[in-house]
Amino acid sequence: MKKALAAVAIGALSLAASSSASAAEISISPEKRCYRSGEEGLTLNGSGFTPNGEVSVTLNGSFLGPGLPDATGAFTGDLSLRQDNGRARRTYTATDTTDPTLTASTEILVSEVDVVLRPRNGAPGRRLEIDADGFTTGRTLWAHVKKGRRVRNIKIGRLKGACRSLVAKRQLLPRDAGVGLYVVQFDTFRRYKSTRPVKVGYTITVRRVFRPSAASAFTWRRSF
């Protein structure tokens, strides 16, 4: 009987240790399926750690900074996201320095905000392939083509997926576009404002060419 009681006691101790080890949790708020590069107002939240202790926070295995749990074992910290190329999955892990068995991880998907245009040049009126990603501020991508004070607002298409992406072909300039410099701003708003916080910009230069097949041609470059 004593052996049986001892076995029960050991089993209870093992369950308690397992419960303690899994008590720690971390999360990122607000919760999203995909976060864009440069997104503001993100918070890393932790709970279940040693009260008034310290937590080591890592990003994909590299030390990011300390967390300082309060009297309840909870902590918060501000996050900044930067993704310069494509998409990436990031794993944040918090490990209690007093009791390393108290550890928790969370994974998120981060996307750059980008628009790629193809081809690089051609005649005005040519349809361009527009490849956009990371526009989590809305459901529709718009292009605002500005020359001087005049602005044309062009609906590019519906953004899809967690990271709000699309591939479409659209004509940004009319066939009879005059020579000069055009500014093109891509964002998720129907009306143009230069102060939109999430945007991608290009400048398109239209120039005269002296050949029988065309009277003018354009080239573009990324501007912001």
**Do 37 and 105 sit in the same domain of this protein?**
yes
Count CB atoms within 10 A of the CB of residue 76: 14
Euclidean distance between CA atoms 11 and 6, whole angstroms: 9
pLDDT at 18: 39
Q: Which of 85, 111, 137 is the last residue of a domain?
A: 111
Q: Which of 88, 111, 134 is the last residue of a domain?
A: 111
For the cut 70, the answer to whether the pLDDT of residue 221 exceeds it is: yes
**Do 95 and 153 sit in the same domain of this protein?**
no
Average pLDDT over residues 65-73: 97
- Does residue 80 belong to any structural domain of this protein? yes
**Do 97 and 181 sit in the same domain of this protein?**
no
**Do 133 and 194 sit in the same domain of this protein?**
yes
Q: Which residue has the tokens 């361009």?
A: 128
Q: What does the pLDDT look like over 103-123, one tens digit per residue? A: 999 999 999 999 999 999 999
- Does residue 186 belong to any structural domain of this protein? yes
This prediction has a pTM of: 0.83
What is the residue range of 121's domain?
114-222
For the cut 70, the answer to whether the pLDDT of residue 2 exceeds it is: no
pLDDT at 216: 80
Q: What does the pLDDT look like over 117-155, one tens digit per residue? A: 999 999 999 999 999 999 999 999 999 999 999 999 999
- Does residue 5 belong to any structural domain of this protein? no
**Do 79 and 173 sit in the same domain of this protein?**
no
> Residue 79: which of 61, 59, 54 has the closest Cα?
59
pLDDT at 34: 97
Q: What does the pLDDT look like over 17-32, one tens digit per residue? A: 334 445 999 999 999 9
CATH assignment at residue 71: 2.60.40.1930
Residues 6+ apart with CB under 8 A from 203: 181, 182, 183, 184, 220, 221, 223
**Do 102 and 147 sit in the same domain of this protein?**
no
Q: How many domains does the chain have?
A: 2
Q: Which of 95, 111, 127 is the last residue of a domain?
A: 111
**Do 89 and 120 sit in the same domain of this protein?**
no
Tokens of 53: 């202790």
How open is the CA angle 155-110-197, to the nearest 5 degrees?
Answer: 50
